[in-house]
Amino acid sequence: MQLFFFGSSILLLLFQIVFFEDRDYRGKSYDCKGDSADLHSYIRRCNSVRVEGGWWCLYERNNYMGYQYVIGPGDYNDYRRWMGFNDCVRSCRIIKTARGPYRLKLFDRPNFGGQSYELTENMRSVPEKLLRQEVQSCRVLGGCWVFFEHPNYSGRQYLLEKGDYSHPSEWGALRAVVGSIRRIM
């Protein structure tokens, strides 16, 4: 359970995700309420998930490594529903979404060089808008964002939270290919 203070008000948010070993919410399950660097001691595989509160980043390997899957509230009866490549989820963490203005600045060269483009909305096709698919560095000025390897929000996913990313490896990518970009709200 997380408490957030806004002026004199307290906002109570629940973060909860339930992992199931088998499809359609069957088999052994694990109810998780916070970051976990090693889920393997609770479940051997993950074929379905129910997100009961908050946004989460699931990782293919322990210690927040490997493929990333960003998922929000809802039911995912099969790992393909969250665009999973397999039934392997070994760690997870809560995404602390930010309210307020969403701003992302993209650069076509490493270390914030070259031409730049600023975003405040989702972009279904980076190549259509920018006439290229490479993003060599970026600055997240507000909000949380997900880079997708392909247009139409598909392929590998990369979570970007507020901060500077001077090279694609800093957001977990091996290549600078970005096909689409979505805000996490």
CATH, residue 70: 2.60.20.10
Among candidate residues 95, 121, 140, the one where a domain is terminated:
95
| Residue 34 parent element (H or E) | none
Same-domain status, 20 and 88: yes
Whether 155 is covered by a domain: the verdict is: yes
Q: How many residues does the chain have?
A: 185
What percent of the chain clears pLDDT 70, i.e. is strictly above it? Answer: 92
Same-domain status, 157 and 134: yes
pLDDT at 59: 96
Read off the pLDDT of residues 26-59 as tens digits, 9 standing for 90 and up.
999 999 999 999 999 999 999 999 999 999 999 9
Read off the pLDDT of residues 110-152 as tens digits, 9 standing for 90 and up.
999 999 999 999 999 999 988 778 999 999 999 999 999 999 9
Beta-strand ranges (E) seen in 1-142 are 2-6, 9-13, 16-22, 26-32, 48-53, 55-61, 65-71, 74-76, 91-95, 103-109, 113-119, 137-142
- Name the 3-class secondary structure at 35: coil
Whether 3 is covered by a domain: the verdict is: no
The domain in which residue 45 lies consists of 13-95
Read off the pLDDT band of 3 (50, 70, 90).
very low
- Name the 3-class secondary structure at 110: helix
Domain count, the chain: 2
3-state SS track over 20-33: EEEHHHEEEEEEEC
Same-domain status, 107 and 179: yes
Question: pTM of the prediction?
Answer: 0.87
Whether 5 is covered by a domain: the verdict is: no
pLDDT at 4: 45
Among candidate residues 95, 119, 146, the one where a domain is terminated:
95
Among candidate residues 95, 128, 158, the one where a domain is terminated:
95
